[in-house]
Amino acid sequence: MTIDPLYLVQLTLNGLVLGLLYALIAVGLSLIFGVLEIINFAHGEFLMLGAYAMTFMLPVVGLLYAPALLAAVLITALGGFLLFELFLSRLGQHDFERSILITIGLSIMLLHGTQYLVSATPRLVDTELGFDGVAIGDIRITWTRLIGGGLALAAFASLYGLLTRTPFGRAMRAIAQNREAALMVGIKPRTVARNAVVLSTALCGLAGAALAPIQLVQPIMGQFLIFKAFALVIIGGLGNLPGAIAAAVALGLFESWIGGFFEIIWQEAAVFLLMILVLLVRPNGLFGRAIVRAG
C-alpha cells in the first residue's frame, strides 16, 4: 500500500487536535481521582453539558466563538460545584463504592434528562468561523480545530502553573499526598476537594465546547468518550497528569491514522487494545501511579 505523505500529515494534524481534547477529559478524571480517590462516572455528561451549552449560547451571542465557549466553561464549572456540594461532599474517606453508585446514577439522570429536553437528534453546530481554516498546499485544518488544540495547550500550561506555583495548587497536592499532614498545617480538605471537582468539570466543559463545532453534538457523546478517558487514565498511570496527557495525544494520533487507512471499527477499539497491552507489560501504567503530579 502506497501512503501519500500529504494525506499522512493531514491525518496527523487532525489526530493531534483530537488527542489534546481527549487529554482535557482524561486530566479532569485523573485530577478527581488524585484528590478525592473516587472515579466520577458522570464526567462524560459534563462534557456533553459543555457541548450543549456551547450549542445554545452561540445563537444568543451572534455565533461568536469566544463568549459562547466562556459561558459553556462557566456553566460546567457551576455544575461541578453543585455535584460536589449536593453529592460528593457527603461521602466519607472510604466511600469509594457509594461514589460509584452516586455518579453512575447521576450520569443516567443527566443523559436521559437531556434526551427528554432536547431530543436525541444530533446537532451540527456553526460558529462565526464556519469551516474556514489554514491551508498549506493541499494540507488544510479548520480554525475551530486549531483554536481547540491551542485552548487545550493553554489549559495544560495554566494547570501546571496552578498546581506548582500557587497556594491553591500546593494545597491540592498536599491533600492528595498526605491528608493527615495537610490537616495539621491548616489545609481544609473540603475546600480543596471542591476546588478539584470544579476545576475538573471546567476542563471537561472546555473540551465539550471545543468539540461542539468539530463533531456532532448529541446526548450520548459523553458516553462514547468517557470510557476512552478511563482507559487513558489507566494507560498513563492513575493520578499521573502528564501520563494522561501523553496517552491521550498518542490515542488521538492512533485513531486518526487507523481511521484513515483501516476500517472504522478498529479506530474505536484502539484505546482498549492499547490499555490491555499496557496492563500486561506495566500494571501501574506507562508512567506509574502518581498523586496529582504535574511534572
Q: Is 288 helix (H, G, I), strand (E, B) or coil?
A: coil
Q: How many structural domains comprise the chain?
A: 1
Q: Quote the pLDDT of residue 93.
A: 64
**If you average pLDDT over every residue of the chain, what do you get?**
88
Q: Quote the pLDDT of residue 108.
A: 94
Q: Which of 69-73, 229-233, 273-277 has the highest average model confidence (pLDDT)?
A: 69-73
CATH number at residue 199: 1.10.3470
Residue 163: C-alpha distances to residues 23, 78, 140, 168, 192 (Å): 17, 21, 36, 7, 12
Looking up cell 468539570 gives: 201
Asked, for residue 171, whether it belongs to a domain, the answer is yes
Asked, for residue 295, whether it belongs to a domain, the answer is no
Segment 199-216 shows an average pLDDT of: 95
Asked, for residue 289, whether it belongs to a domain, the answer is no
Asked, for residue 46, whether it belongs to a domain, the answer is yes
In the chain, % of residues over pLDDT 70? 96
Asked, for residue 286, whether it belongs to a domain, the answer is no
Q: What is the 3-state secondary structure (H, E, C) of 163-187?
A: HHHCHHHHHHHHHHHCHHHHHHCCC
Asked if pLDDT for residue 206 goes beyond 70, the answer is yes
Segment 42-55 shows an average pLDDT of: 96
The H helix count followed by the E strand count for the chain is: 11, 2
Give the model confidence (pLDDT) of 226-264 as tens digits.
888 888 888 888 778 888 899 899 889 988 888 888 777
Asked, for residue 212, whether it belongs to a domain, the answer is yes
Give the model confidence (pLDDT) of 155-172 as tens digits.
999 999 998 889 888 888
* β-bridge partners, 217: 123
Give Cβ neighbours of residue 110 (< 8 Å, ≥ 6 apart). Answer: 42, 45, 48, 49
How distant is the alpha carbon of residue 130 from its chain centre? 24
In terms of residue numbers, what domain contains 45? 5-281
Q: What is the rounded CA–CA span in Å between residue 185 and residue 196?
A: 19
Q: Quote the pLDDT of residue 223.
A: 87
Q: Quote the pLDDT of residue 49.
A: 96
295: pLDDT confidence band, cut at 50, 70 and 90?
Answer: very low
Asked, for residue 294, whether it belongs to a domain, the answer is no
Asked, for residue 263, whether it belongs to a domain, the answer is yes
Q: What is the rounded CA–CA span in Å between residue 251 and residue 226?
A: 14
